[in-house]
Structure 1
């Protein structure tokens, strides 16, 4: 494998290229008209304009990407995450054209791409699942009967969904019909498929996911868990590894379950098995993401493994260089997704120019970044600028370093989730480890963030005033 095309943009494209270069592999970038000046374009050995700014005219043009790959004699394509990373047809098309797809085979992508098919696949392995429907449903009256049997509150989820689209929590029966209609409509609009399934809504849930890696020689390992419970609009903002609530015994059980899920679909490469953990520490299979996750750096920090390198080695047909017994948790890592969003305005996207953009630096601080000072933040893509990751020997150490790193991350020209990050990492519930996926709903409001910022400003002003008075005393000292 001498040349890899990275079929993505931003920080993940840069991340993949760093490892490829370390392995002596040439890289090809593709870019849209909005991304001409992006770091991933400058970093690649070759770069090709793929189309206009909207992703359906650029990064989602599978056949055009294959044409570019063939023209430039590319050996493999790394899809990153998002865009075509979980598109089974694109994976098949890549392989048909004699190019290696750095990811699982299309069978696994198809099975795990449908939440219902995924549940069917893991049934034989005695893995607990949240009580609910076994098949997709669109009949509202039938769905209502099922919901009554399961008992409220219930969760309606789009079968083909993700990212919180087509998802509705229904607290009481009188709201069921309207919420069901909304979920079906949203699912049709987002995925072209209005089928949904219904499951029991787990109260006080924590979102725990297990990283797995599988080779083509029958070896599957897990690289422990990530806690992803701090979410807004069902999407993750803060992640950490390991979780503060898992015992070694529970960790081992969840790891074994994740390996079984991978085996159920003949998995290959890096994948993530997602679970819900209830307040009694029962865990339930949710779904499998058949790609590298946004939050993979925290796993890399605590295991010392380069997951992209392992992906490439597995795609080349190599055996995994590690056994389960070789893997150990060392220390603690935190990640904050730095989004161009305004936390004081319902996390709405904030577009504009990065007038100031300075990254924090220091030991055990890592920034997976896709932007530079002076760049425009485009409206066409996910608003994530970067991922800020810190590592410590303990959870407390990683949190304190994160707060320092946030303080030293200078961004002007747009609003970001950095202040929200400070709010989370300073909050007693987070620091104690006693939180769940309702953290934002329970504790966060724009007013609370504004109060925190005002208090910080007052403290800074008092410190400045005290320093000024001290300086004046020195100036006034007689000769």
Structure 2
């Protein structure tokens, strides 16, 4: 059993993992960059080690710095959280070489599923529906034009190593293809050091539905239901729900079982998420697999009562899952709103600076806040803009929405800009409450209305 775990991350997810470790009676080691000396996760952990300058490539995303801190502190295992090193197969390999447990799946699985084209091929072989697209990588404009002639428009160009909207271009017609393909190649080269692109037909309109998987080292694989992540802007999630408000029970059962079968087929271990696009007729298609903890995991925890982080840690210790599939019950509706340090009225410009005043909502059943902000803290400008998550849950979906409305009303952050007003307007919108939205609804409908009013 683990005595000490190093948390190779920062911000709210580092705080979340450290709290889970304390509840489990396991020691925690925080790592921090020079810009994060006063960060909350460094205070809450049992130990804290500085790993380098502010730039993430020299600190949080530097495998040598992380492993050196693990070695110095005597950590048994490393929890990568999400982002940074969480889906780096080479980092998982290095952990194994140093006899430090990587809390996640094997490096082989990370490598296969981390490359989007390989993942498509693997899922297709496992019998999982995939969207029509290129057969392998597309290396030139001429190849792209040939693929487009087969699969049709609109289509998406994607980086094989990409994620979070990076290296992606939406192509609506043939006259856009050449310029957007070259843009995607250039961006992919600058971010990932290669020009590996593939193409797939756009499912439009579509919902983004993902299934939470837990798999132990003894061959047990279960799902914890699905999440609806359709409320997005620029392929970045804004609000998530669990479960979906629109899937039929038959489609829900088929979708979740498909995800379980897919995870079993690749020998998956740990927590993971399989993401699908669902069309207006509720046909579903594999999109990608995230071989790590998801930002939106709290909504699943709220509706199931299962602590995904603790399950993930226990799996890494070789323990069996604490629940069987028949024990998993999804009750009510959970909603998560991502509080970002940004100014939506200025093209979502990131914001940083001192937190002069801070009030987060509290009180009431079914309310959870996850953040690393505190009054007097200086939010550095070097990292992701997400500053916190507000989560509500109620057995009655209407009351879950009302609780979120109340919670967002109480959020007060002074010193930086946040998107709280945007979230308030979204959660009160009748189309959101009726789930009459798709992955492009915020950009195509909501933002035009909101900016005119504000």
Q: TM-score range, shorter-chain basis?
A: over 0.9
1:220 Cα shift?
Answer: 0.3
Query: What residue is the counterpart of 1:59 in the other structure?
Result: 60
Distance between the aligned counterparts of 1:234 and 1:123, measured in 2?
Answer: 24
Distance between the aligned counterparts of 1:85 and 1:375, measured in 2?
Answer: 26
1:82 Cα shift?
Answer: 0.3
Task: Answer with 1 or 2: which has the greater Rg.
Answer: 1
Distance between the aligned counterparts of 1:426 and 1:267, measured in 2?
Answer: 39
Distance between the aligned counterparts of 1:395 and 1:196, measured in 2?
Answer: 41
Query: What residue is the counterpart of 2:374 in the other structure?
Result: 372
- Structure 1 segments of 4+ aligned residues over 3 angstroms from their partners: none
Distance between the aligned counterparts of 1:445 and 1:8, measured in 2?
Answer: 32
1:367-446 counterparts in 2 under 5 A?
Answer: 367-445=369-447
Q: Which runs of 5+ in 2 are unaligned?
A: none
Query: What residue is the counterpart of 2:251 in the other structure?
Result: 250
Query: What residue is the counterpart of 2:145 in the other structure?
Result: 144
Query: What residue is the counterpart of 1:130 in the other structure?
Result: 131
Residue 176 of structure 1: SS of its match in structure 2?
A: helix
Query: What residue is the counterpart of 1:337 in the other structure?
Result: 338
CA RMSD of aligned residues (A): 1.1
Residue 346 of structure 2: SS of its match in structure 1?
A: coil
Q: Which runs of 5+ in 1 are unaligned?
A: 454-479
Distance between the aligned counterparts of 1:173 and 1:62, measured in 2?
Answer: 42
CA contact 2:123–2:130 (8 Å) conserved in 1:
no
CA contact 2:78–2:101 (8 Å) conserved in 1:
yes
1:450 Cα shift?
Answer: 6.2
Distance between the aligned counterparts of 2:241 and 2:450, measured in 1?
Answer: 24
Distance between the aligned counterparts of 1:242 and 1:113, measured in 2?
Answer: 26
1:449 Cα shift?
Answer: 4.7
1:446 Cα shift?
Answer: 6.5
Distance between the aligned counterparts of 1:447 and 1:124, measured in 2?
Answer: 44
Distance between the aligned counterparts of 2:16 and 2:122, measured in 1?
Answer: 32
The normalised TM-score by structure 2 is 0.98
Distance between the aligned counterparts of 1:256 and 1:446, measured in 2?
Answer: 39
The normalised TM-score by structure 1 is 0.93
Residue 344 of structure 1: SS of its match in structure 2?
A: helix
- 1:150-178 Cα shifts (integer Å, max 9, x gaps): 11111111111111111111111111111
Distance between the aligned counterparts of 2:265 and 2:398, measured in 1?
Answer: 38
Count residues with an aligned counterpart. 452
Distance between the aligned counterparts of 1:204 and 1:133, measured in 2?
Answer: 21
Residue 345 of structure 2: SS of its match in structure 1?
A: coil
Distance between the aligned counterparts of 2:189 and 2:406, measured in 1?
Answer: 44
